[in-house]
Structure 1
Amino acid sequence: MLEEAEEIGRRARRARLRLGMPQADLAAALGKTQGWVSKMERGLIELDRVGLLNLVASALHIHPNDLIGRPYNSSPSENQWQVAAASILRELRRYDLAPVFEGPPRTSVQLWQETTRLHRLRDAAANVAIMQVLPDLFREARALAEVATGHEREEAFAVYTVCCKFAHTAAHALGHPELVAMACERAAWAARLSSDAVMPAVADWMRVWDMWATADWTDAVALSDKALRSVQQGYERGEPLAVRAWGSLQLRAAVSAARAGSGAEAEDRIEHARTAAERLGRYAGPPVYDRHSLTFSPGNVQIHAISVALELREQRKALAINRRTSPELVAALPNSRRSHHHMDLARAWLWDGNRDKALRELETAERTAPQLIRNHPIARSTLRSIVYAERAGTREKLRRMSDRFHLDG
């Protein structure tokens, strides 16, 4: 684990030297000192915030995955997801060609029922299983769009868009940037061909996530606002799917603003999202299926508020928000979101100087969604910091004891 931090530093140094960039220039681009860059390149500083990691990668003109070495080295069985990823890429590349599909495709209603399985896998953070399901579903949705007309054809493209979103989320979690980028592009294409007024905003929600990889925080906020305007009328009418999308986009904007260092705007966006969650809670009509797969609830707003505080390096504020958050709100969240929450709390406790609580939170995160946490760069960074601090603490205790025992005498 400790060697991984040193390798990240070496990758950063190699990328900087390829550009002919002095340490002082990289420091200026990052708003850091040359000493900070030197320590980072020697593996002595952890890139322990996604915003910071992405900023360093952007300044070096490389992808964050290239900096941290994702996908991580795993066993052959754990690498099987890449076979499914290649199959998904094949389907996405031939998006405008008639698919090879035997027999008649199922109806859009049946395909939507199939996406409920993906929702369950998403909630459990079973990203490898999602990858394995998607190739056939992409092919069948595209086959339906080829033979159907009218509303049925539009619904086929809506299913295709949602499949892109699941591919996008799983590829982010597992570390496959090519699939991330192509899924986002195809989602925008299919969303325009669907009859779903909210679907283009969902595609923009995905694009905001991709802008984070290149540290384009201002553009991410601007794109969030563009998407917000597209669902504003539905939000004002209280349409549940539009309200859900509107609130989710506000959370995207909040994180983007926090990474840009704009704490006041981030707080405003969190409050807007909280208002949307309250509005969703007051809905009294018939049940509405969350076909866009946007996890939005009062609990999700609270854990985003904690994430925003951490992006602003305000761990005590994050811990205070957590104390005020009802455990029931967090318990109602899917495993994928709860594991992120506990990972954030581990980071907060570590920064606050409590390694025992940090480790307990990280263990909870791993139990909740092991596949997600073991592949997350911030979880790995947090664990490395705990291990290093424990080793340093043990060395110091031994030095003091050896002094008392006069072992050097």
Structure 2
Amino acid sequence: MSADSPHEVGERVAARRRARRLTQTGLATASHVSYATVRAVERGARRPSDDVLEAIAATLEVDATQLRTGYVGTERRVHRALPELSAVIAGYEFPQGPPTRTPDGLAEAIDTAVAWRLAAQYGRIADAIPSILGDAIRYVHAARSTDHRAAARMLAAAARTADAIAFKYGERDLSARLIDLMRWAADRSGDPLVQAATAYVRTEVFFAARAHAVGLAALEQAIEAAPAPSSRSEAAARGALHMRAAVIAGRGGNVGGADIHLTHARQLGDQVAREGVYLGTTFGPDSVRIHEVSVAVSLGRDHVDRALRVATEWKPPTGLPAERRSGFYIELARAQDWAGLQADAFESLKVARAAAPQHTREHPWAREVAGSLRRFHRADAEGLSHFAHWIGAV
């Protein structure tokens, strides 16, 4: 059951509707929901059913979790999509007929799905990505030789987006296969920046296996192979690899290695100067600050002060992708819990949930901290219990 009141859900629906410049009648017509229902939902007089919530969310172009934090339909949508994804990639090396979309239509669909990934809208990804990925595979095989590299770049982006839901929902074997597909596409793209992005994503395999030393070696090899940072996109590609290397070095207890890579990432962030999304990876000075917290938490309890110092001086701007902002507050909550700042930790978890509910709900560290707070912290006990039930910590 949602911890949100019908009034809170209604306020979110109304705010999103106004932001889209829709009237209540327009929202009702576009979502195929009666005007009376839309009006009652916005007034808080009615709690929308899952079907109504999904219809309204689709029209407002948000994930349903942005409207009701206790919504669990996203999990159902993701798990329904996973077997289809597995079937789609089973024979990716072989031609499977022409794509159903035009190249321009496919590129637009992939760009939209990438935006959903950065916004942690996993339900929307699940609904669309099997078809998109299937078309991307078909296009690689059907494209003219002059278009083959561009088709391979598109396939790499589609596979990465599919991996976002496989990895976050614990389907490690499927995630590894999608990363293999991404590597296959990256090799065919002949684009060193796509290959760098693939190496960044491949680190998930090493995180999952706790193979931190091997993962660090793989990233350092990718850094050596990456192009010199003579342009903003090249600097961002190399900087993202250094950020990832710093975190995996921290997970392995390698303080020196973590600090070296973080220093390089900071220098490249300054060179890039402004935050942006480069081949599907967010990089810039703000992302580096977020990774400073991530590295400190990765190094363990003895380095909590490093994380708290960053958070005292700086907060992620709202313009950053939702998933990255949510990740910052989840890791900050872990540091605050370790430091005995339980009330602050709970506030950080709530900020993470507001930024990206589904990302927070599926994050194991968020669940760990919520469980710890519920056991040992009594202030706001009712709110904590609601949160712990929502996130699955009880």
* Distance in 2 between residues matched to 1:282 and 1:370, nearest whole Å: 27
Are 2:294 and 1:307 aligned?
Answer: yes
Question: Per the alignment, do residues 370 and 176 of structure 1 end up closer, same or farther by CA in structure 2, a change over 3 Å counting?
Answer: same
Equivalence for 1:269: 261
User: Pairwise mapping of residues 25-44 of structure 1 onto structure 2 (< 5 A)?
Assistant: none
Question: Per the alignment, do residues 319 and 92 of structure 1 end up closer, same or farther by CA in structure 2, a change over 3 Å counting?
Answer: same
**Aligned-residue CA RMSD in angstroms?**
2.3
What SS class does the counterpart of residue 78 from structure 1 fall into?
helix
| Alpha carbons 1:106, 1:144 under 8 Å: kept | no
Tell me which of 345, 357, 376 is aligned to 2:332.
345
| Structure 2 residue runs without a partner (length 5+) | 1-70, 382-394
Tell me which of 94, 98, 110 is aligned to 1:97.
94
Tell me which of 331, 348, 355 is aligned to 2:318.
331
What SS class does the counterpart of residue 295 from structure 1 fall into?
strand
Tell me the TM-score normalized by structure 2: 0.73
Question: Per the alignment, do residues 241 and 76 of structure 1 end up closer, same or farther by CA in structure 2, a change over 3 Å counting?
Answer: closer
Identical-pair percentage:
26
| Alpha carbons 1:127, 1:173 under 8 Å: kept | no
Equivalence for 1:79: 76
Displacement of 1:76 after TM fit? 6.6
Equivalence for 2:387: none
Equivalence for 1:317: 306
Tell me which of 212, 222, 246 is aligned to 1:254.
246
Question: Per the alignment, do residues 389 and 195 of structure 1 end up closer, same or farther by CA in structure 2, a change over 3 Å counting?
Answer: same
User: Pairwise mapping of residues 9-408 of structure 1 onto structure 2 (< 5 A)?
Assistant: 78-101=75-98, 105-107=101-103, 109-233=104-228, 235=229, 238-281=230-273, 290=277, 292-312=279-299, 313=301, 314-325=303-314, 327=315, 329-390=316-377
* Distance in 2 between residues matched to 1:202 and 1:253, nearest whole Å: 13
* Distance in 1 between residues matched to 2:94 and 2:278, nearest whole Å: 26
* Distance in 2 between residues matched to 1:252 and 1:304, nearest whole Å: 8
| Alpha carbons 2:166, 2:172 under 8 Å: kept | yes
Q: Which has the higher contact order (CA 8 A, sep 6+)?
A: 1
Larger Rg: 1
Equivalence for 2:68: none
Amino acid at match of 2:83: A
Displacement of 1:77 after TM fit? 6.4
Amino acid at match of 1:365: A
Q: Deviations over 1:352-407 (max 9, x none)?
A: 1121111111111111111111111110100000000026999xxxxxxxxxxxxx
Displacement of 1:212 after TM fit? 1.2
Displacement of 1:240 after TM fit? 2.5
Tell me the TM-score normalized by structure 1: 0.71
| Structure 1 consecutive aligned stretches of length 4 or more whose deviation exceeds 6 Å | none
Aligned pair count reads 309
What SS class does the counterpart of residue 198 from structure 1 fall into?
helix
| Alpha carbons 1:243, 1:280 under 8 Å: kept | yes
| Alpha carbons 1:106, 1:140 under 8 Å: kept | no
Displacement of 1:332 after TM fit? 2.8
Displacement of 1:183 after TM fit? 0.5
* Distance in 2 between residues matched to 1:291 and 1:298, nearest whole Å: 14
Question: Per the alignment, do residues 291 and 391 of structure 1 end up closer, same or farther by CA in structure 2, a change over 3 Å counting?
Answer: closer
Q: Deviations over 1:144-177 (max 9, x none)?
A: 2222222312211111111111112222222211
